[in-house]
């Protein structure tokens, strides 16, 4: 990945078929049900262009953390949110260059990829390998 980023997950949009299995498995892992709007990975279709895969790319520097006025975000191998400090201003989502921080859910707080605590469910279930774990 360019832009000086270290990635936990590498995406290959040209391999993405738009099946959205990653969205489904992510929402099952985090919400216990198929709820694509609560998925931490998003597929954006701009047909006839290739699919765009949006998720936290572990940027360095991390504009989401730098932008948070309350210091509610931290990096611990993946992005973490302290809900006690978060005011739900969502400046972090605006600062994310990859569209990896999501808002507008039933919960007021922003949400994003946490690698399923190292289980990488989207990587495991992607049939085309459009989403890969960086070792």
In tens digits, the chain (135 residues) has pLDDT values of 333 344 578 999 999 999 999 999 999 999 999 999 999 999 998 888 888 999 998 888 999 999 999 999 999 888 999 999 999 999 999 999 999 999 876 778 999 998 888 899 999 999 999 999 987
- CATH code for the part of the protein at 9-133: 3.30.70.20
| In the chain, where the domains are located | 9-133
How many CA atoms, within 13 angstroms, populate the side-chain half-sphere of residue 13?
17
SS3 category, 111: strand
Ramachandran area for residue 3 (φ above 0: left; ψ -120 to 50: alpha; else beta): left
pTM as predicted: 0.85
């Amino acid at each position: 990945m360019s832009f000086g980023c270290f990635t936990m997950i590498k995406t290959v949009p040209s391999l993405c078929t738009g099946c959205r299995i990653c969205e489904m498995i992510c929402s099952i892992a985090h919400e216990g049900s198929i709820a694509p709007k609560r998925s931490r990975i998003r597929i954006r279709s701009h047909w006839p262009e290739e699919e765009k895969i949006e998720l936290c790319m572990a940027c360095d520097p991390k504009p989401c953390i730098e932008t948070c006025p309350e210091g509610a975000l931290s990096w611990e191998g993946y992005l973490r949110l302290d809900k006690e400090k978060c005011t739900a201003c969502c400046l972090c989502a605006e600062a994310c260059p990859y569209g990896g921080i999501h808002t507008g859910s039933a919960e007021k707080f922003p949400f994003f990829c946490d690698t399923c605590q190292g289980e990488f469910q989207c990587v495991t279930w992607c049939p085309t390998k459009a989403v890969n774990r960086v070792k």
